[in-house]
Amino acid sequence: MLVRIAYLFVIMVWSTTPLGIVWSSETIPPTMSVLLRMAIALVLAALFIAFANIRVPWTRLACKQYLYSSLGILGGMCLCYMAAKTVPSGVISLIFGLAPFFSGVLGYKLLGEAKFTKIKLLALIVAFLGLYLICVAQLQELELAPAGMIYVLLAVCSFSLSGVMIKRVPVVVHPMATTFGALAFVTPMLTLVWWLVDGQIQPAEWQSKSIWATVYLGIFGSLLGFLAYFYVLQKLPAGTVALTTLVTPGFAIALGAWLNHEQLTATLLVGAVIVLASLALFQFGDSWFKQIKSAGLRSGA
């Protein structure tokens, strides 16, 4: 029962995070918004570790893991918050759903992982077609600035590269300790970025929606969401966890249209369907093909 609750919680958090980012950066500058989010998460993570008596190692390898994690947060979050000024939350979620493709390519190049199978290559081609349609909807039909889409794509690359680099560090650290270590590394970096880019604090201009969205992201998006995700990873098969990348973009698009009045065009919806289909093919295509092949052999026998 607890595993099911955690799984549904992960879906809820991942579905609402893009909209939270859009709302939090409406009246709070992006660099300040992401800094506040991570500072809230850092304080709560420190309290959690203190009460739960979780050991946080500070060895060279552990710090290396924290650094790689923090660089993914730094690049991914800053770029994502900058994109949220022009890119709808549903589109952000869709493009982040493409992370398995980026991770697969980077894993092959940097970790020596297996090459893409023919089915995975087909899924990658289909994904690019869906991404093209999404870009057309964004740039031509909705007449939005191209910089936002570039920011999101770079953010996904940053997150994916961070995840692959973490795998290169031969050390096992408690998930909560990793979260705290990454936050401890990235918060000073985000402070420096905020100081260089903006360097001003003007809370009088912050609206309550942006403030509450930032608080929500700090508590749920950056702390409890991580804990639930790591718990689900330990308890459920990888294929079941991978289903979240198919479910959350659909919810995110619906929430964006419902709560934030984000415009949905036919081209965008077709692109979204194609991207989700490519993700399903990428995650489960090989096993589907084996099942179909074995069923054909049995029927032929």
The predicted structure's pLDDT at residue 289:
80
Amino acid at 226: F
Q: Percentage of the chain with pLDDT > 70?
A: 94
Quote the CA–CA distance of 155 and 136 in Å, as a whole number: 20
Q: What is the SS3 string spanning 135-188?
A: HHHHHHHCCCCHHHHHHHHHHHHHHHHHHHHHHCCCCCCCHHHHHHHHHHHHHH
Tokens describing residue 174: 């408690």
Quote the CA–CA distance of 217 and 268 in Å, as a whole number: 26
E-only strand ranges, the chain? none
The predicted structure's pLDDT at residue 187:
95
Choice among 19-28, 79-88, 163-172, 232-241 with the minimum mean pLDDT = 232-241
The predicted structure's pLDDT at residue 232:
79
pLDDT band (50, 70, 90) for residue 103: confident
Tokens describing residue 196: 């260089």
The predicted structure's pLDDT at residue 211:
96
Average pLDDT over residues 197-224: 92
pLDDT band (50, 70, 90) for residue 50: very high
pLDDT band (50, 70, 90) for residue 4: confident
Three-class DSSP category at 293? helix
Average pLDDT over residues 223-230: 80
**Greatest mean pLDDT range, 142-146, 214-218, 250-254:** 214-218
Average pLDDT over residues 51-65: 93
Q: Percentage of the chain with pLDDT > 90?
A: 49
| b/e code 48-68 from CB counts within 10 Å (16+ = b) | bbeeeeeebbeeeebbbbbbb
Contacts 24+ apart (CB under 8 A), 235-242: 235/3, 235/6, 236/3, 236/7, 239/283, 239/284, 239/287, 240/7, 242/100, 242/283, 242/284
The predicted structure's pLDDT at residue 13:
92
Domain positions in the chain are 52-201+236-300
- Render pLDDT for 116-174 as a digit per residue (tens, 0 to 9): 889 989 999 999 999 999 988 888 877 787 888 899 999 999 988 888 888 888 888 88
